[in-house]
Protein backbone atom coordinates (compact mmCIF):
# COMPACT_ATOMS: atom_id res chain seq x y z
CA UNK A 1 0.00 0.00 0.00
CA UNK A 2 2.77 2.40 0.98
CA UNK A 3 4.69 1.83 -2.25
CA UNK A 4 1.38 2.20 -4.14
CA UNK A 5 0.99 5.68 -2.68
CA UNK A 6 4.59 6.51 -3.61
CA UNK A 7 3.99 5.56 -7.27
CA UNK A 8 0.65 7.37 -7.26
CA UNK A 9 2.30 10.54 -5.99
CA UNK A 10 5.13 10.18 -8.52
CA UNK A 11 2.72 9.69 -11.44
CA UNK A 12 0.55 12.71 -10.61
CA UNK A 13 3.60 14.89 -9.95
CA UNK A 14 5.14 14.05 -13.33
CA UNK A 15 1.77 14.43 -15.04
CA UNK A 16 1.35 18.02 -13.81
CA UNK A 17 5.02 18.89 -14.33
CA UNK A 18 4.67 17.91 -18.03
CA UNK A 19 1.40 19.83 -18.34
CA UNK A 20 2.48 23.02 -16.62
CA UNK A 21 5.86 22.75 -18.38
CA UNK A 22 4.09 22.71 -21.74
CA UNK A 23 1.78 25.59 -20.76
CA UNK A 24 4.81 27.62 -19.57
CA UNK A 25 6.71 26.80 -22.80
CA UNK A 26 3.67 27.83 -24.88
CA UNK A 27 3.25 31.04 -22.88
CA UNK A 28 6.91 31.96 -23.29
CA UNK A 29 6.80 31.46 -27.06
CA UNK A 30 3.55 33.46 -27.18
CA UNK A 31 5.13 36.41 -25.33
CA UNK A 32 8.30 36.33 -27.47
CA UNK A 33 6.34 36.34 -30.74
CA UNK A 34 3.98 39.04 -29.45
CA UNK A 35 6.97 41.24 -28.54
CA UNK A 36 8.53 40.69 -31.96
CA UNK A 37 5.23 41.45 -33.67
CA UNK A 38 4.79 44.72 -31.74
CA UNK A 39 8.36 45.72 -32.62
CA UNK A 40 7.85 45.01 -36.34
CA UNK A 41 4.50 46.83 -36.38
CA UNK A 42 6.22 49.90 -34.91
CA UNK A 43 8.87 49.76 -37.66
CA UNK A 44 6.25 49.43 -40.41
CA UNK A 45 4.01 52.21 -39.05
CA UNK A 46 7.05 54.49 -38.59
CA UNK A 47 8.00 54.32 -42.26
CA UNK B 1 -15.29 38.65 -27.37
CA UNK B 2 -12.81 36.01 -28.49
CA UNK B 3 -10.54 36.72 -25.49
CA UNK B 4 -13.50 36.57 -23.09
CA UNK B 5 -14.50 33.19 -24.52
CA UNK B 6 -10.96 31.90 -24.00
CA UNK B 7 -10.93 33.17 -20.39
CA UNK B 8 -14.27 31.46 -19.74
CA UNK B 9 -12.94 28.23 -21.28
CA UNK B 10 -9.79 28.40 -19.14
CA UNK B 11 -11.90 28.90 -16.01
CA UNK B 12 -14.20 26.00 -16.96
CA UNK B 13 -11.13 23.80 -17.55
CA UNK B 14 -9.71 24.67 -14.11
CA UNK B 15 -13.07 23.89 -12.43
CA UNK B 16 -13.36 20.56 -14.29
CA UNK B 17 -9.76 19.56 -13.45
CA UNK B 18 -10.31 20.27 -9.72
CA UNK B 19 -13.62 18.35 -9.82
CA UNK B 20 -11.92 15.45 -11.59
CA UNK B 21 -9.14 15.35 -8.98
CA UNK B 22 -11.77 15.30 -6.21
CA UNK B 23 -13.60 12.43 -7.90
CA UNK B 24 -10.40 10.46 -8.57
CA UNK B 25 -8.98 10.76 -5.05
CA UNK B 26 -12.07 10.97 -2.83
CA UNK B 27 -15.28 9.97 -4.65
CA UNK B 28 -14.05 6.87 -6.53
CA UNK B 29 -13.63 3.73 -4.40
CA UNK B 30 -10.24 2.06 -3.93
CA UNK B 31 -9.78 -0.84 -6.34
CA UNK B 32 -9.77 -4.21 -4.51
CA UNK B 33 -6.67 -5.81 -6.09
CA UNK B 34 -4.37 -2.92 -6.99
CA UNK B 35 -5.25 -0.48 -4.24
CA UNK B 36 -4.50 3.24 -4.61
CA UNK B 37 -2.11 2.78 -7.54
CA UNK B 38 -5.19 2.16 -9.73
CA UNK B 39 -6.06 5.87 -9.37
CA UNK B 40 -3.40 6.62 -12.00
CA UNK B 41 -5.77 4.98 -14.51
CA UNK B 42 -8.26 7.90 -14.66
CA UNK B 43 -5.86 10.55 -15.92
CA UNK B 44 -3.71 8.04 -17.85
CA UNK B 45 -6.73 6.97 -19.93
CA UNK B 46 -7.98 10.56 -20.26
CA UNK B 47 -4.67 11.78 -21.66
CA UNK B 48 -4.48 8.78 -24.02
CA UNK B 49 -8.03 9.43 -25.27
CA UNK B 50 -7.39 13.16 -25.75
CA UNK B 51 -4.08 12.38 -27.45
CA UNK B 52 -6.09 10.35 -29.98
CA UNK B 53 -8.52 13.26 -30.38
CA UNK B 54 -5.56 15.60 -30.95
CA UNK B 55 -4.12 13.33 -33.62
CA UNK B 56 -7.54 13.17 -35.24
CA UNK B 57 -7.37 16.98 -35.34
CA UNK B 58 -4.07 16.68 -37.23
CA UNK B 59 -5.57 14.05 -39.55
CA UNK B 60 -8.65 16.19 -40.33
CA UNK B 61 -6.56 19.37 -40.72
CA UNK B 62 -4.13 17.55 -43.04
CA UNK B 63 -6.90 16.21 -45.29
CA UNK B 64 -8.56 19.63 -45.47
CA UNK B 65 -5.22 21.28 -46.23
CA UNK B 66 -4.58 18.91 -49.15
CA UNK B 67 -8.08 19.60 -50.51
CA UNK B 68 -8.43 23.35 -49.86
CA UNK B 69 -4.74 24.42 -49.67
CA UNK B 70 -5.64 26.96 -46.98
CA UNK B 71 -3.06 27.77 -44.29
CA UNK B 72 -5.68 27.67 -41.49
CA UNK B 73 -5.98 23.87 -41.90
CA UNK B 74 -2.21 23.47 -41.69
CA UNK B 75 -2.25 25.58 -38.51
CA UNK B 76 -4.91 23.28 -37.02
CA UNK B 77 -2.87 20.19 -37.97
CA UNK B 78 0.45 21.34 -36.48
CA UNK B 79 -1.10 22.82 -33.33
CA UNK B 80 -3.05 19.65 -32.63
CA UNK B 81 -0.01 17.42 -33.28
CA UNK B 82 2.15 19.33 -30.78
CA UNK B 83 -0.47 19.04 -28.02
CA UNK B 84 -0.99 15.37 -28.91
CA UNK B 85 2.73 14.70 -28.41
CA UNK B 86 2.71 16.44 -25.00
CA UNK B 87 -0.30 14.33 -23.95
CA UNK B 88 1.35 11.14 -25.22
CA UNK B 89 4.38 11.98 -23.10
CA UNK B 90 2.07 12.00 -20.06
CA UNK B 91 0.69 8.58 -21.08
CA UNK B 92 4.18 7.16 -21.69
CA UNK B 93 5.39 8.24 -18.23
CA UNK B 94 2.32 7.48 -16.10
CA UNK B 95 1.92 4.03 -17.73
CA UNK B 96 5.32 2.68 -16.63
CA UNK B 97 4.88 4.21 -13.14
CA UNK B 98 1.65 2.19 -12.82
CA UNK B 99 3.24 -0.90 -14.39
CA UNK B 100 6.26 -1.06 -12.05
CA UNK B 101 4.34 -2.12 -8.88
CA UNK B 102 1.57 -3.99 -10.78
CA UNK B 103 3.54 -5.90 -13.47
CA UNK B 104 6.91 -5.77 -11.71
CA UNK B 105 8.49 -4.05 -14.74
CA UNK B 106 8.58 -0.48 -16.01
CA UNK B 107 8.07 -1.57 -19.62
CA UNK B 108 7.17 -4.68 -21.60
CA UNK B 109 7.11 -5.02 -25.37
CA UNK B 110 3.35 -5.46 -25.28
CA UNK B 111 1.44 -4.71 -28.56
CA UNK B 112 -0.60 -1.88 -26.99
CA UNK B 113 2.52 -0.22 -25.57
CA UNK B 114 4.56 -0.67 -28.73
CA UNK B 115 1.86 0.65 -31.08
CA UNK B 116 1.38 3.66 -28.79
CA UNK B 117 5.12 4.33 -28.73
CA UNK B 118 5.31 4.10 -32.54
CA UNK B 119 2.34 6.47 -32.79
CA UNK B 120 4.15 9.04 -30.64
CA UNK B 121 7.38 8.67 -32.63
CA UNK B 122 5.47 9.16 -35.89
CA UNK B 123 4.09 12.48 -34.72
CA UNK B 124 7.52 13.51 -33.44
CA UNK B 125 8.77 12.73 -36.98
CA UNK B 126 5.91 14.90 -38.30
CA UNK B 127 7.21 17.85 -36.24
CA UNK B 128 10.83 17.22 -37.30
CA UNK B 129 9.84 17.21 -40.99
CA UNK B 130 7.98 20.48 -40.50
CA UNK B 131 11.03 22.06 -38.90
CA UNK B 132 13.26 20.91 -41.75
CA UNK B 133 11.24 22.43 -44.63
CA UNK B 134 11.40 26.21 -45.14
CA UNK B 135 8.95 26.75 -47.97
CA UNK B 136 5.39 27.06 -46.60
CA UNK B 137 3.39 25.20 -49.29
CA UNK B 138 5.88 22.36 -49.56
CA UNK B 139 6.03 22.07 -45.76
CA UNK B 140 2.24 21.97 -45.51
CA UNK B 141 1.90 19.35 -48.26
CA UNK B 142 4.65 17.01 -47.00
CA UNK B 143 3.60 17.19 -43.37
CA UNK B 144 -0.08 16.68 -44.30
CA UNK B 145 0.82 13.36 -45.94
CA UNK B 146 2.85 12.30 -42.87
CA UNK B 147 0.02 13.44 -40.56
CA UNK B 148 -2.51 11.28 -42.42
CA UNK B 149 -0.23 8.20 -42.45
CA UNK B 150 0.68 8.66 -38.76
CA UNK B 151 -2.99 8.86 -37.76
CA UNK B 152 -3.63 5.40 -39.27
CA UNK B 153 -1.75 4.05 -36.24
CA UNK B 154 -4.48 5.36 -33.87
CA UNK B 155 -7.13 2.69 -34.70
CA UNK B 156 -4.34 0.10 -34.71
CA UNK B 157 -3.31 1.14 -31.18
CA UNK B 158 -6.94 1.04 -30.07
CA UNK B 159 -7.60 -2.50 -31.37
CA UNK B 160 -4.15 -3.85 -30.38
CA UNK B 161 -5.73 -5.50 -27.30
CA UNK B 162 -8.16 -7.42 -29.52
CA UNK B 163 -5.81 -8.31 -32.38
CA UNK B 164 -2.89 -9.61 -30.34
CA UNK B 165 -2.32 -11.28 -26.97
CA UNK B 166 -1.60 -8.54 -24.50
CA UNK B 167 -1.30 -7.99 -20.77
CA UNK B 168 -2.49 -4.37 -20.96
CA UNK B 169 -5.80 -3.97 -19.04
CA UNK B 170 -8.85 -3.70 -21.28
CA UNK B 171 -11.64 -2.41 -19.05
CA UNK B 172 -13.20 -0.10 -21.65
CA UNK B 173 -14.72 -2.01 -24.57
CA UNK B 174 -17.34 -0.77 -27.03
CA UNK B 175 -19.92 -3.17 -25.57
CA UNK B 176 -19.02 -3.01 -21.88
CA UNK B 177 -17.15 -0.94 -19.27
CA UNK B 178 -15.83 -3.20 -16.50
CA UNK B 179 -15.87 -0.64 -13.67
CA UNK B 180 -17.78 0.38 -10.55
CA UNK B 181 -20.30 3.16 -11.48
CA UNK B 182 -18.39 5.67 -9.28
CA UNK B 183 -15.20 4.81 -11.14
CA UNK B 184 -17.01 5.44 -14.44
CA UNK B 185 -18.15 8.87 -13.15
CA UNK B 186 -14.57 9.75 -12.13
CA UNK B 187 -13.24 8.59 -15.49
CA UNK B 188 -15.91 10.56 -17.37
CA UNK B 189 -15.11 13.71 -15.38
CA UNK B 190 -11.35 13.30 -16.00
CA UNK B 191 -11.92 12.78 -19.73
CA UNK B 192 -14.13 15.89 -19.92
CA UNK B 193 -11.50 17.96 -18.06
CA UNK B 194 -8.60 16.87 -20.26
CA UNK B 195 -10.65 17.24 -23.47
CA UNK B 196 -11.45 20.83 -22.46
CA UNK B 197 -7.76 21.37 -21.61
CA UNK B 198 -6.95 20.23 -25.15
CA UNK B 199 -9.47 22.70 -26.63
CA UNK B 200 -8.04 25.70 -24.73
CA UNK B 201 -4.43 24.71 -25.52
CA UNK B 202 -5.37 24.27 -29.18
CA UNK B 203 -6.86 27.77 -29.33
CA UNK B 204 -3.70 29.29 -27.75
CA UNK B 205 -1.38 27.27 -29.99
CA UNK B 206 -3.32 28.24 -33.14
CA UNK B 207 -3.15 31.91 -32.09
CA UNK B 208 0.63 31.57 -31.74
CA UNK B 209 0.94 30.13 -35.24
CA UNK B 210 -1.22 32.96 -36.61
CA UNK B 211 1.04 35.55 -34.94
CA UNK B 212 4.13 33.83 -36.40
CA UNK B 213 2.60 34.18 -39.87
CA UNK B 214 2.02 37.89 -39.25
CA UNK B 215 5.66 38.28 -38.11
CA UNK B 216 6.91 36.56 -41.28
CA UNK B 217 4.62 38.77 -43.39
CA UNK B 218 5.90 41.99 -41.77
CA UNK B 219 9.55 40.88 -42.08
CA UNK B 220 9.00 40.23 -45.78
CA UNK B 221 7.35 43.65 -46.18
CA UNK B 222 10.24 45.42 -44.40
CA UNK B 223 12.81 43.57 -46.55
CA UNK B 224 10.98 44.52 -49.75
CA UNK B 225 10.77 48.17 -48.74
CA UNK B 226 14.44 48.35 -47.66
Give this complex's ipTM: 0.91
The closest of A22, A31, A45, A12 to B42, measured between CA atoms, is A12
A7·B98 Cβ contact <8 A: yes
Domain count for chain B, please give it: 1
pLDDT at A1: 44
Chain A residue with the nearest C-alpha to that of B46: A15
Which residue in chain B has the smallest CA separation from A28?
Answer: B208
pLDDT of residue A46: 80
Tell me whether B97 touches chain A (CB under 8 Å).
yes
Minimal C-alpha gap between A42 and chain B (Å): 10
Backbone φ and ψ for B177, nearest 5 degrees, come out as: -115, 115
A4/B101 touch (CB, cutoff 8 Å), yes or no: yes
Give residue B105's domain range.
2-28+38-225
Residue B33 domain-assigned? no
In a domain, B72, yes or no: yes
In chain A, what residues touch B90 (CB-CB under 8 Å)?
14-15, 18-19
The whole-angstrom distance between A11's CA and the closest CA on chain B is 5
The residue in chain B having the minimum alpha-carbon distance to the alpha carbon of residue A26 is B205
Q: Using alpha carbons only, how large is chain B's radius of gyration in Å?
A: 20
pLDDT at residue A45, as a whole number: 86
Q: Residue A29: its chain B contacts at CB < 8 A?
A: 208
Closest-CA residue to B203 (of B211, B213, B191): B211
Cβ-Cβ contacts under 8 Å, B45 against chain A = none
Query: Could you give the CA distance from residue B226 to residue B223 in angstroms, rounded to a whole number?
Result: 5
Chain A residue with CA closest to B33: the answer is A1
Q: pLDDT tens track of chain B, all 226 residues? A: 688 999 999 999 999 999 999 999 999 999 988 999 999 999 999 999 999 999 999 999 999 999 999 999 999 999 999 999 999 999 999 999 999 999 999 999 999 999 999 999 999 999 999 999 989 999 999 999 999 999 999 999 988 877 887 788 877 776 777 788 999 999 999 999 999 999 999 999 999 999 999 999 999 999 988 7
Residues of B in contact with A42 (CB under 8 A): none
Nearest CA to CA, how far is A22 from chain B (Å)?
7
Amino acid sequence: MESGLYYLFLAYTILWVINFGYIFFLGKRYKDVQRELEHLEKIVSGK
Amino acid sequence: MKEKLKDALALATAVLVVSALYMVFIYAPTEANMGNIQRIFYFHVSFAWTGFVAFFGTFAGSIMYLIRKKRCWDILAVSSAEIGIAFCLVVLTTGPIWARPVWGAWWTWDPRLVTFLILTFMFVAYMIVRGAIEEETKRGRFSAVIGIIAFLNVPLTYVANVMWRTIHPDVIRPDKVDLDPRMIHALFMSMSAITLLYVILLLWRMDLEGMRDRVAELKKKIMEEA
